[in-house]
Structure formats: structure tokens, C-alpha cells
Amino acid sequence: MKHLLLRIEPVVWFLFGQGIMIGTMLLTGWVLVLGLAIPLGLVSPDALAYERAYGLGSHPIGRLLLAALIALPLWKGAHHLRHLSIDFGGLSRDVVVAPILYGIATLGSLAAIVAVIRL
């Protein structure tokens, strides 16, 4: 397992980096509107009525952005949590923690692809 983790590290680091870069950029607007402005009534919920939301999401660019917005933060999250675990003295449990976290990110990324395809 340790050897496998070493072999995939460049890819994981790349996805983590994109998660921070692109994930942060995409999530800012997403959280601002979906997470705060609409719930707090600053923006009308009609802006994301089903027809409009579906039209945006099912557009090819929409599908791509949504897939990135789901998948990339998962890799940033998984990688950072793994390192946080090690920071708190968890090297010996890394052989369990890392596969679980990267497993969640992998499954989540696959689910993201399915989610945008079925739109």
C-alpha cells in the first residue's frame, strides 16, 4: 500500500493543486450565491428555477464546470486531510487513512462524471 501511494503521488498532487486553484475559483461564486445569497434572500430563488438551472447545467460548458466543481475540491480535501492526519502523529495509520480519503475522492469524481452525463 505504501508503495502504491508513492506511485500515485504525482497525480494526486496535481489533482490537489487543481482543487485548490480551480476549485477555489469555482467554489467562491457557487458558495456566494447558492450557499449564502439565495438562502438569505439577497437573490431571488427564481434565478435557479428548474428550467433555467437545467438549461445552464446541461450545456456542455455547464457540465464541465459542474464536474470540476464537484471533483476537484474532493481531491483538495482528501489530500489536505491526509496530511493533517499525519501532522497529528498519524503516520502509522496513513496506510488506512490515505486509501479511504483518496477512495472517497475517486468515487466522488466518478459520481461527478455520472451526475453531469445524466443531466
Q: Measured between alpha carbons, how far is 40 from 29 in angstroms, rounded to an integer?
A: 15
Binding mask 32-51 for another protein (x = CB under 8 A): xxxxxxxxx--xxxxxx-x-
Q: Cβ 2 to another protein, closest distance in Å?
A: 9
Compute the distance between CA of residue 71 and CA of residue 108 in angstroms, rounded to an integer: 6
Helix residue spans in the chain (DSSP H): 2-18, 24-30, 50-58, 60-87, 94-117
93, three cell numbers: 495509520
Residues 46-75 that bind another protein (CB under 8 A): 46-48, 50, 52-54, 56-57, 65-66, 69-74
Interface pick for another protein out of 1, 4, 24, 96 (rule CB under 8 A) = 24
> Nearest 5°: phi and psi at 34?
-70, -35
Q: Is 103 in the site for another protein (CB under 8 A)?
A: no
Q: Least separation, in Å, of the C-beta of 62 and another protein? A: 9
* Cα–Cα distance for residue pair 53/21, rounded to 1 Å: 25
Task: Tell me: does residue 106 bind another protein (CB under 8 A).
Answer: no
Q: Which residues bind another protein (CB under 8 A)?
A: 6, 9-10, 12-14, 19-21, 23-40, 43-48, 50, 52-54, 56-57, 65-66, 69-74, 76-81, 83-84, 86-91, 104-105, 108, 111-112, 115-116, 118-119
